[in-house]
Amino acid sequence: MASHRVTHVLCAAEPHGSVAALERLADVARDRDVHAIALVGNLGGGGNPGPEVYRALIRALAQSGLPSYWVPGPEDAPIDAYLREAYNMELVFPLLRGVHGTAAYAPGPVLFAGLGGEVSDDPNAAREERARLRYPRWEAEYRLKLLRELPEHESVLLFWTPPAHKGEGSTGSEALAELINTHRPRLVVCGGLPGTRMLGRSLVVAPGRLAEGSYAIADLHKHEAEFVAGSLA
């Protein structure tokens, strides 16, 4: 399945250290017509998760046999353990790619990119990666400028922080909403309350907490998402 052009993406968020939830998600990926997985933190469940926690989670994700892309959440701190283990596991499982502040291609090609942790709209907000992952808006703008330098392809962006939506009085990030309107990805996967909406030409999907059994399957071409709540719990 990994060689299929990516059109259906299995979206998940907030596993909170549950290897069992990721194993069940891998089962869903094998049973359904999906071509890739997009996962946003919190991955390790907080409390300074060690490398063995990330190792177990990534191994569970790899059971799907699909290209999989992820970013950390605010509780996946300090960043050192996360980045070190993500790098090591990508060498073992070449279909898995962390895209925190970077990008990777899926079959199609479809470009996956993102930034995990909290994103503050305040450009002067303190940058934090030890006790919690938190970034000022300029970091998101700087990290994702690479999208302008790459050939234009369909893209999927991953953020833990949801983007703002003025029409709904959203409390999400205006900076991320601006980036989405600039780069116009087909799909955005984020944390926050479960739901879907259009932001410009981009489908924004917040799949809910995987630790509570929730996920979504997004269709890149139809701009639709199927939500499943609580079935993996």
Provide the pLDDT for residue 81.
Answer: 87
pLDDT averaged over every residue in the chain: 92
For residue 3, the model assigns a pLDDT of 57
So what's the pLDDT on residue 14?
96
Give the domains, in start order, of the chain with CATH numbers: 8-228 (3.60.21.10)
Q: Return d(Cα 19, Cα 87) in angstroms, integer.
A: 19
% of the chain with per-residue pLDDT over 70? 96
pLDDT of amino acid 96: 96
Closest C-alpha to 114, from 231, 204, 210: 204
- Taking alpha carbons only, the member of 233, 166, 165 closest to residue 205 is 165
Q: Give percent of the chain above pLDDT 90.
A: 83
Q: Which of 16-20, 33-37, 64-68, 169-173 has the lowest mean pLDDT?
A: 169-173
Whether the predicted pLDDT of 232 surpasses 80: no
Q: C-alpha 83: how far from its chain's center?
A: 15
Cis amide linkage into residue 181, ω under 30° from 0:
no
4-18, 105-119, 168-182: least confident range: 168-182
Burial status of residue 221 (CB atoms within 10 A of its CB: 0-12, 13-18, 19 or more): exposed
Give the span between the Cα atoms of 64 and 90, in whole angstroms. Answer: 15
Distances 142 to 70, 122, 221 between C-alpha atoms, Å: 19, 14, 28
pTM: predicted TM-score of the whole model, two decimal places: 0.95
Q: Give the pLDDT band (50/70/90) at residue 209.
A: very high
pLDDT in tens, 91-126: 999 999 999 999 999 998 999 999 999 999 999 999
- pLDDT of 168 reads 56
| 233 pLDDT more than 60 | no
Residue 2 confidence (pLDDT) above 50: no
What pLDDT does residue 46 have? 73
By DSSP bridging, strand 110-115 and strand 118-120 are unpaired
